[in-house]
Structure 1
Amino acid sequence: MQANSPEKPIFPESEEAAKFVTGISGWVDRYGGFFGTNEKLARYSGSTHKHCGCGAAIPKNSYCEPCCKNKNSELYLIIERREWDQKTPLFSQSHDKYLFDKDDLFDLMCEAQVTDPDELELFICEPNHLGEIESDYWADYLPDDGELPPEVEAALEEFNAVIRKSEPVSWSPGKFAAIVDLEAKHD
């Protein structure tokens, strides 16, 4: 079967997942892979699905989305909180959306039909900046103990100065939950 075709679920405990072969004394998965005495590994290799702790059947190389969402929500409740400055973007963990201003926040609140921003599980974002280019970037092209030509070094320093002054190129969810005051006015 192809990897992206729908398959009948086969769990590690299924007889189809693996078989014990005599003569070579060991476990062979359903694809013919030999695992010696390691039954658990053979069964895992031959399976397509596994059981989550909640009992749901999920693909073996995946995770249970409801359990993951519940775990993230539990972590959100205990994470450190900081007041939102109304300038830095926010990320809604519960809706997987970035919010770049108060209007975006109000739009998502309307869409999600919530009156308390805390229900959106908001995180204050952290900026992603371009990294500077180190002069050793071209080390594989230079002879041992070789150095870049002076004009390239100068151009590289100018380029890195521009990088240091540049605005963020994107944002990522940060490590602080947002305290959002809808009544607050910020510049």
Structure 2
Amino acid sequence: MREETVVMYESPEAASIQTVTGWVAADGRFWGNDEHMARYCGSTHRHCAKNPDHPIHETRGWCRACQAEGDATKFAAMPRRSWGGEPITHYDGDRYFFDEESLLDWIVEHEIDLANLKLVFCTPNYPSEIDPSDHFCDDLPEDGEINDDQLLAAFELLNEMIRKCPPLSWSPGNEAVELPPAFIDKVARERLEALA
């Protein structure tokens, strides 16, 4: 058996003064040889890594110009279909529309340019069914099962109601909205009436 070496707190072997070289951030944090992390930690702004012509941005953020370019590319690549009144949302916002009237009012009221309008169809968010074994996992013994038939029947009834439940909310989908010509004409008429 190996004998453990005893090093006393007061002994010179326990610690010594050393000169250390490395990168130190503006806040005094030592990063050793990691120049990138020292600069990242000590800076507030930086140039865009992808395009130096873009404006500077916060170090802990992202380049807004690159974000806008990426969003535009992603939106342009989306499949398109004509809108028939389904729930839709603004691609880079949090405004949702569930009928023609609310979309029409928003476009006219905010003087939205239809050429720059980016709308996507929504996907529904349904409630998830509840597995009683998952729900009671902290209360059951390891590898234990629920043996109460009434409790299992209650969960089955609850899950049946959950399956019949309408969407709880909506999320942006991956299909771009093509506004029908009749709706575009209606927008033009509303704008003319607003000017009169």
| Identical-pair percentage | 35
Take 2:163 and 2:123, find their aligned partners in 1: how far apart are those partners? 16
How far did 1:120 drift? 1.5
Q: Do the aligned partners of residues 30 and 114 (structure 1) sit closer, same or farther apart at CA in structure 2, a change above 3 Å counting?
A: closer
Cα displacement string for residues 106-126 of structure 1 (whole angstroms, at most 9, x for unaligned residues): 11221342463x532010000
- 2:160 aligned with 1:164: no
Structure 1: runs of 5+ lacking an equivalent:
1-21
**How far off is 1:95 after superposition?**
4.8
* 8 Å CA contact 2:119, 2:177 repeated in 1: yes
Highest Rg: 1 or 2? 2
Alignment: residue pair count: 161
1:60 matched to 2:59? The reply is: yes
TM-score, normalising length from structure 2?
0.73
Aligned to 2:9: none
Q: Does the aligned pair in 2 maintain the 1:94–1:120 contact within 8 Å?
A: no
After superposition, residues 99-110 of structure 1 pair within 5 angstroms as 99-110=97-108
Residues 128, 169 of structure 1: 8 Å contact kept: yes
In 1, Cα distance between equivalents of 2:106 and 2:70:
22
5 Å-filtered alignment, 1:38-49, equals 38-49=34-45
* Aligned-CA RMSD value: 2.1
User: Superposition pairs for residues 166-185 of structure 1, below 5 Å?
Assistant: 166-183=165-182
Distance 1:96-1:64 versus aligned 2 partners, 3 A rule? farther
Query: What TM-score does the superposition give when structure 1 sets the normalisation length?
Result: 0.76
Larger strand proportion, structure 1 or 2? 1
The answer to whether 1:136 aligns with 2:133 is yes
Q: Which deviations, in whole Å up to 9, do the C-alpha atoms of 1:15-69 show, x marking residues without a partner?
A: xxxxxxx921111112222211111111111112222234322222222334423
Structure 2, unmatched stretches of 5+, are 1-17, 184-196
Find the aligned partners of 2:94 and 2:87 in 1 and give their Cα distance: 13
Matched residue type, 1:159: L
